[in-house]
Each structure stands twice: as structure tokens, then as C-alpha cells.
């Protein structure tokens, strides 16, 4: 693999993890919002 | 030492069982999901056979009412969370990377984990049947206060639902990240196959609503064991609130169960009509519109619970609005077939049947959306007929069509066309024999989830049960055709069909273990 291709792979896997974390945080927020809502 | 070195080598693959336990390959994980879904399809199907055996004639013959309730509850949970959802994830794992020119899913280890949660979740769920007092019997909706009063099987179900939810959310995250970050350079969003589009939208629905289900069952758990009173009027709570929160998850869930099927149909029909899909961008927009509307219609599941008139009107009209984007889709499928050079191999037979039969389910859905009419239909067999037309002849038959469509690409062998067509006709005929009479039973007032019925319902129930036994037996043929195709058969060409469109048909059959390690040089035209 060339250096440029390596750099693209690393950039892409970092972007993958960041996007996954954002989506995971979103899911967690929906759970927290449901459970800790003031339902009274 | 040599083995240890080999283990660290990037091309080392363990064999046997460990290959499947440790795999991070999207094709392996796709296969695992599909095998799991087919297994659960037979487990849930066996429960359906028990239900139909009990309802064969009036009176109580086969099971006691409590076990009957457990069977209806478990049949739904197993089919929805064990068969249909993992089935679609299996197709997504196999096809999305190949369709967008990616080497694998974006997060392969997460992918492995998403799958391997499921067998444990379902072992937990199914073993609850063996607990003292039996399995959950409150219906798959787990309505409070029935579920707040159940035995420890309800706690096991809650834990299983949490695990399924985690599996689904992780799978959805993986699919979104793969589609956003891993597409081949020329694969713009509006050039993606419809199956990829429908899954992208489905994945967002999953992330939005599975946590809501997790929230509501956690509230159930704390009501049962930790002194809260979310759903207990004695403590200031409200059981109707459970229904609102549950269906805020439940209705988008309905679209989670059908949108990938729409994507599959949108792949199969153009291939066998030898024409590009009619109205590609309107298909994408219609899918997005259905997903958006799915968040504002939930209370149509609970019209009879008592709501302000304004609420009933709002949910009635918003539900009817869904017919518009759905109608756009049906129009586009029919227009794709119009003047096409059509042929009717097994996948196309399933696809055409889905368009026809799903539309029947859509129309009965419109009838149920009319609030005053729903007061008559609610909790009757009309509802059971409606959602089986949507979930069996919609989702399940679409997956069967997809299996026949992509099996040659996966295995390198053509399936047995004669047996495939026989399976289709047996399924289509027995499905209608089973479920069409249930419309009449429901309109005449036969309630659902009751093991006995009044004598005047006997004839239609006998027909329905005979159809169900035939439908169940026909699926053994499906398993046989699939296994036969995996083990051998006529060699499939790389293109498999006459004029398929898309990147997956540019790789050899069977698809190599790794595909698109370098991005494809060009994207085939979809027009």
C-alpha cells in the first residue's frame, strides 16, 4: 500500500469511529430523554 | 511459534466454529444473520402452528389459555425481532458493501458483536418459557398493567429486548457509517441502489426509536422492582402512557420492518422487467416521507383507549397521508414493469406478489385508520389479517425473493428454478387461504388473542388453520431449495441474470471472500 493510500485509510477509519460515536451518543440521548422525561 | 506468527498475520483465518465466532467479514456475518433469521422463522412458525391448531375448531383442545397467550406473545416477538429484523440485517451485511463498492462494513468488529448478542438474547427470551408460570403472556406489546403483574419471564423478556435493542442500534450505526464513509469515489448518494437508500433511512429510524423501546421497558422494570409508579394509577402513574411511549417506538418499527423490503423489490423488478427503475428520485423521497410520517401516527394503534377528538382526527388524517408516498412507490413499481420485457423467475414472482399483496395490506390499513371504523375493527382478526398481509406477504416474501435473487451470487450456483417456483406458488396460495378469511372473521367480530370462539366463526377458522398448516409445511421446501443451492447446482455466471444493474453483479460468482479492496474504476449506469 502506498503512503497516500495509508493516509486515506487512516483518515477514513478515524472518520468512521467519530461518526459512530456521534450516532451512539444520539441513541443514548434518546434513551435518557425517554427515561428521565418529566412524565407527570 | 510459527502458529503464533501466523495468527498475527493479516490473512490468517481460523477454521471451523471459530471462523464464525471471530469473523469480521461482512459476508460471513451476513450469512450468520440469515441463518439465525431462518432458524427463528421456523421457531416462530412452530408457535403459529400451535395457535392455529388450537383455533382449528371451537373449544379448548390443544393448549390451555395461558399457554395460548404465551404462544401469541412469543410468536410475535420471535418473528419481529428474531426473523424479520435480523433477516434484513443479513441482506444489508452481504449486499451494502458490494453495492457501494466498499471492501467491508466500516466497523467490522462492532459488526461481529452486533450479531453475537442476538443468540444470547433469544436464548434468554425462549428459555423464559421454562420458568415457573411460563413465558410472557401479555402480547408482544407488553402493555401495562398485564406486564407489571407477570412473573420473572417478563424480566427475562425485558433483558432480552434490551439486548436486541443494543444489537439493532449497533448494526444501524455500522450501516450509516458504511454508507456515508465507505462509498466508492463515483458513488454519489443519488446513484446508490434503492436497497442501500431504504436501509440508510431504516437505520436512522432504528437509532431514533430503539432507545425509546429500551426506555419504556426500563420504566416497566423499575415499576416492577424499584418502587416507581410510571404506569400505576395508585402511585400517580398512567397505564395509557405505556401505550403512547410503546407505539411511539412501535409505529416507526413497522416501517423498519417494511422499508428494506421496498428496497429489495426496487432491485428485483427492474432486473426482470429489463428496464431501469421508474422514478428513482421520487422513490428516495417517498421512502424519506414515509419515515418522517411514521413518527406522527402512533396513536392510531390506540384509538379505542379514549383520546380527545382533536387527537383522533389528527392521527386519522396523518395516517391516511402515508398512503400518498406509499402509492408513489406502488405506481413506480407498476410503471417499471409497464412495457418491460418481463420474465417470471422465482425472485420476480415473489416481487410481483409483494406489490399485489402488500397493497391489500395497505388498503386494509387505510380502513383501520378511519377512527370510527376502527372502533369496530380494533382487536379483532381484521387487524391480524392486515398486519400479516404487510409483514408476511410484504416483508417475509420480499426476503424470500431476495434470497432467490442473490443466492446465485453468494453460492456460485443457480437454485432449482422448478422447486423455487413451486415454493412460491405454495406460499402465495396457502398464505391467502390462511389470512384472507381472517378479514371476514374480524369484520364479524371475532376478537384476537382469545383461544376459543363462537360457533359461527368455525368454517373460516377451519379454512384458515388448514392454510396455515400448508403454509408452514411449504417453508420446509424453501429450506431444502436453499440448502440444495448452497451444496451445488448449475454454475451461475457473474451477471447471473439477463440485465441486472449494480456493482454486485460485476464481481465473480460466488462472490470472493474480499471484494472491492481497491475501489471500482467506474460505477455501472442505473439508467
**Unique residue bearing C-alpha cell 443468540:** B119
Chain A closest CA to B210's CA: distance in Å? 8
Residues of B annotated as catalytic (active site), given as ranges? 75, 104, 140, 167-168, 251, 253, 255, 266, 300-301, 326, 329, 448
B166 touches chain A (CB under 8 A): no
Q: What is the DSSP letter of B447?
A: B
Q: pLDDT, tens digit, for every residue of B59-81?
A: 999 999 999 999 999 999 999 99
DSSP B454: -
* Whether residue A1 has pLDDT greater than 60: no
Q: Does B229 touch chain A (CB under 8 A)?
A: no
Q: From the CB of residue B491, how many other CB atoms can be counted at a distance below 10 Å? A: 11
Is A34 in Cβ contact with B216 (below 8 Å)?
A: yes
With residues binned 3-state (H G I as helix, E B as strand, rest as coil), the percentages for chain A, rounded to 5, are 80, 0, 20
d(CA B360, CA B463) in angstroms, rounded, equals 20
Distance, in angstroms, between B286 CA and closest chain A CA? 24
Asked if A34 is an interface residue toward chain B (Cβ–Cβ < 8 A), one would say yes
Bridge partner residues of B380 (DSSP): B447
Rounded Cα–Cα distance for residues B184 and B101 (Å): 5
**Sign of the CA dihedral running B147, B148, B153, B158:** positive
- pLDDT tens digit string along A2-32? 566 566 677 778 999 999 999 999 999 999 9
| Contact pairs from chain A to chain B, CB under 8 Å | 59
C-alpha distances in Å from residue A26, one per residue of A38, A39, B106: 20, 21, 19
pLDDT over 90 at B302, yes or no: yes
Length of chain B: 527
Beta bridge partners of B413: B491
Q: Do B215 and A35 touch (CB under 8 A)?
A: yes
Cell (9 digits) for A29? 440521548
**Phi, psi for B134 (deg, rounded to 5):** 80, -175
Name every residue whose Cβ is closer than 8 Å to that of residue B246 and which is 6 or more positions away in sequence.
Answer: B141, B142, B143, B213, B216
**Which element (helix H / strand E) includes B360?**
helix B346-369
| pLDDT band at residue B7 under the 50/70/90 scheme | very low
Query: Given an 8 Å threshold on Cβ–Cβ distance, is A12 in contact with B107?
Result: no
How far apart (Å, rounded) are the C-alpha atoms in residues A16 and B87?
Answer: 25
Q: Is A25 on the interface with B (CB under 8 A)?
A: no
Its sign, for the CA torsion B79, B80, B86, B90, is positive
Residue of A nearest to B242 (CA): A39
Residue B6: predicted pLDDT: 44
Assess whether pLDDT exceeds 70 at residue B432: yes
Residues of A in contact with B174 (CB under 8 A): 20
Contact B236 A12 (CB under 8 A): no
User: If you measure CA to CA, which chain B residue comes closest to A13?
Assistant: B106
Q: Is B265 in contact with B355 (CB distance < 8 Å)? A: yes
- Cα Rg of chain A (Å, integer): 18
What average pLDDT does the segment B387-397 reach?
Answer: 98
Q: What is the pTM of this model?
A: 0.95
Report pLDDT for B115. Answer: 98
pLDDT of residue B1: 37
Q: Which residue, B460, B306, B440, is CA-closest to B377?
A: B440
Tens-digit pLDDT profile for residues B162-193: 999 999 999 999 999 999 999 999 999 999 99
Instruction: With CB atoms and an 8 Å threshold, state whether A34 touches B110.
Output: no
The nearest alpha carbon in chain B to A34 belongs to: B215
Q: Could you give the CA distance from residue B316 to residue A24 in angstroms, rounded to a whole number?
A: 34
Q: How far apart are CA B134 and CA B127, in angstroms?
A: 9
Query: Are A12 and B182 within 8 A, CB to CB?
Result: yes
Residue B3 has a pLDDT of: 46
**How much is the average pLDDT of B314-326?**
97
CB contacts, 8 Å: B230 with chain A: 39
Strand partners, B447: B380
Q: Say yes or no to pLDDT of B108 above 60.
A: yes
CA distance A30 to chain B (A): 6
The verdict on a CB contact (< 8 Å) between B211 and A39 is no
DSSP letter, residue B190: G
pLDDT at B13: 74
CA gap B249, B341 in Å, rounded = 42
H, E, C per residue of B242-282:
HHHHHHHHHHHHHHHCCHHHHHHHHHHHHHHHCCCCCCHHH
- Cell triple for residue B224? 416492577
Confidence of residue A40 (pLDDT cuts 50, 70, 90): confident
Q: How many CB atoms sit inside 10 A of residue B120's CB?
A: 13
What cell does A37 get?
422525561
Q: Under an 8 A CB cutoff, do B169 and A17 touch?
A: no
State how far the Cα of B59 lies from the Cα of B445, in Å rounded to an integer.
17
From the CA of B218, how many Å to the nearest CA of chain A? 8
Q: What number is the average pLDDT over the span B344-371?
A: 97
Indicate the residue of B173, B219, B237 with minimum beta-carbon distance to A24. B173
CB contact under 8 A, A16 and B211: no
To 10 degrees, the CA torsion angle through B74, B80, B83, B86? Answer: -130
When the pLDDT of each residue in chain B is averaged and rounded to a whole number, the result is 95
Please, which pLDDT band fits residue B4 given cuts at 50, 70 and 90?
Answer: very low
Reduced to 3 states, what is the DSSP secondary structure of residue B491?
strand
CB B91 within 8 Å of CB B395: no
SS3 content of chain B, % helix, strand, coil (to 5): 75, 0, 25
Residue among A12, A23, A31 whose CB faces B176 most closely: A23
Mean pLDDT of B451-457: 97
- Whether pLDDT at B443 is above 90: yes
Q: Is B236 in contact with A15 (Cβ distance < 8 A)? A: no
Residues in chain A closer than 8 A to B168 (CB atoms): none
> Does residue B179 belong to the interface with chain A, where contact is any CB pair within 8 Å?
no
CA distances from B391 to B159, B382, B386 (A): 25, 14, 9
Inform me whether the pLDDT recorded for B5 exceeds 50.
no
Q: Which triple of cell numbers denotes residue B238?
A: 398512567
Please tell me if residue A19 touches chain B, with a CB cutoff of 8 Å: yes
B524 grid coordinates: 455501472
Cβ-based contacts of B233 with chain A (< 8 Å)? none
Exposure class string for B494-512: b at 16+ Cβ within 10 A, else e: eebbeebbbbbbbbebbbe
B401 confidence band (pLDDT: 50, 70, 90): very high
Q: Is B110 on the interface with A (CB under 8 A)?
A: yes
B240 and A CB contact within 8 Å: no
CB contact under 8 A, B107 and A16: yes
Between positions 180 and 219 of B, the ones with CB within 8 A of A are 180-182, 207-212, 214-216, 218-219
Amino acid at each position: 500500500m502506498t503512503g497516500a493510500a495509508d493516509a486515506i485509510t487512516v483518515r477514513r477509519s478515524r472518520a468512521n469511529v467519530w461518526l459512530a460515536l456521534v450516532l451512539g451518543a444520539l441513541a443514548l440521548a434518546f434513551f435518557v430523554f425517554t427515561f428521565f422525561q418529566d412524565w407527570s | 511459534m510459527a502458529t503464533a506468527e501466523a495468527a498475527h498475520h493479516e490473512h490468517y483465518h481460523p477454521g471451523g466454529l471459530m471462523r464464525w465466532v471471530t469473523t469480521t467479514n461482512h459476508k460471513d456475518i451476513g450469512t450468520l444473520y440469515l441463518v439465525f433469521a431462518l432458524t427463528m422463522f421456523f421457531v416462530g412458525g412452530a408457535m403459529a402452528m400451535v395457535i392455529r391448531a388450537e383455533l382449528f375448531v371451537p373449544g379448548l383442545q390443544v393448549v390451555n389459555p395461558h399457554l395460548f397467550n404465551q404462544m401469541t406473545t412469543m410468536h410475535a416477538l420471535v418473528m419481529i425481532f428474531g426473523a424479520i429484523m435480523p433477516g434484513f440485517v443479513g441482506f444489508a451485511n452481504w449486499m451494502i458493501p458490494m453495492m457501494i463498492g466498499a471492501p467491508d462494513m466500516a466497523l467490522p468488529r462492532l459488526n461481529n458483536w452486533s450479531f453475537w448478542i442476538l443468540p444470547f438474547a433469544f436464548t434468554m427470551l425462549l428459555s423464559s418459557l421454562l420458568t415457573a408460570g411460563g413465558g410472557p403472556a401479555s402480547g408482544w406489546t407488553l402493555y401495562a398493567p398485564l406486564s407489571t403483574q407477570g412473573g420473572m419471564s417478563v424480566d427475562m423478556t425485558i433483558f432480552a429486548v434490551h439486548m436486541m435493542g443494543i444489537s439493532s442500534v449497533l448494526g444501524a450505526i455500522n450501516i450509516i457509517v458504511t454508507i456515508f464513509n465507505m462509498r466508492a469515489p463515483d458513488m454519489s448518494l443519488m446513484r446508490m441502489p434503492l436497497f442501500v437508500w431504504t436501509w440508510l433511512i431504516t437505520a436512522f429510524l432504528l437509532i431514533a426509536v430503539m432507545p425509546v423501546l429500551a426506555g419504556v421497558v426500563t420504566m416497566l422494570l423499575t415499576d416492577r422492582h424499584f418502587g416507581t409508579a410510571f404506569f400505576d394509577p395508585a402511585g400517580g402513574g398512567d397505564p395509557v402512557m405505556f401505550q403512547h411511549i410503546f407505539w411511539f417506538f412501535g409505529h416507526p418499527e413497522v416501517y423498519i420492518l417494511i422499508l428494506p423490503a421496498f428496497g429489495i423489490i426496487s432491485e428485483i423488478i427492474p432486473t426482470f422487467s429489463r428496464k431501469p427503475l421508474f422514478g428513482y428520485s421520487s422513490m428516495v423521497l417517498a421512502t424519506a416521507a414515509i419515515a418522517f410520517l411514521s413518527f406522527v401516527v402512533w396513536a392510531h394503534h390506540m384509538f379505542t383507549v379514549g383520546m380527545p377528538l382533536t387527537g383522533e382526527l389528527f392521527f386519522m388524517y396523518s395516517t391516511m397521508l402515508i398512503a400518498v408516498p406509499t402509492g408513489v412507490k406502488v405506481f413506480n413499481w407498476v410503471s417499471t414493469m409497464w412495457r418491460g420485457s418481463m420474465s417470471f423467475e422465482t425472485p420476480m414472482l415473489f416481487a410481483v406478489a409483494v406489490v399485489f399483496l402488500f397493497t391489500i395490506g395497505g388498503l386494509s390499513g387505510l380502513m383501520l385508520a378511519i377512527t370510527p371504523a376502527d372502533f369496530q375493527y380494533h382487536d379483532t382478526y381484521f387487524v391480524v389479517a392486515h398486519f400479516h398481509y404487510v409483514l408476511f406477504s410484504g416483508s417475509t416474501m420480499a426476503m424470500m425473493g431476495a434470497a432467490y435473487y442473490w443466492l446465485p451470487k453468494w453460492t456460485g450456483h443457480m437454485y432449482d428454478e422448478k422447486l423455487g417456483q413451486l415454493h412460491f406458488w405454495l406460499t402465495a396460495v396457502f398464505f391467502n387461504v390462511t389470512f384472507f378469511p381472517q378479514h371476514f372473521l374480524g369484520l364479524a367480530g371475532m376478537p384476537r388473542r382469545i383461544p376459543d370462539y363462537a360457533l359461527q366463526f368455525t368454517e373460516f377458522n377451519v379454512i384458515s388453520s388448514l392454510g396455515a398448516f400448508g403454509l408452514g409445511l411449504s417453508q420446509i421446501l424453501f429450506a431444502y431449495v436453499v440448502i440444495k443451492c448452497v451444496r451445488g447446482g448449475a454454475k451461475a455466471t457473474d451477471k447471473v441474470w439477463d440485465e441486472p444493474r449494480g456493482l454486485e453483479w460485476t464481481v465473480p460468482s460466488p462472490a470472493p471472500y474480499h471484494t472491492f479492496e481497491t475501489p471500482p474504476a467506474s460505477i455501472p449506469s442505473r439508467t
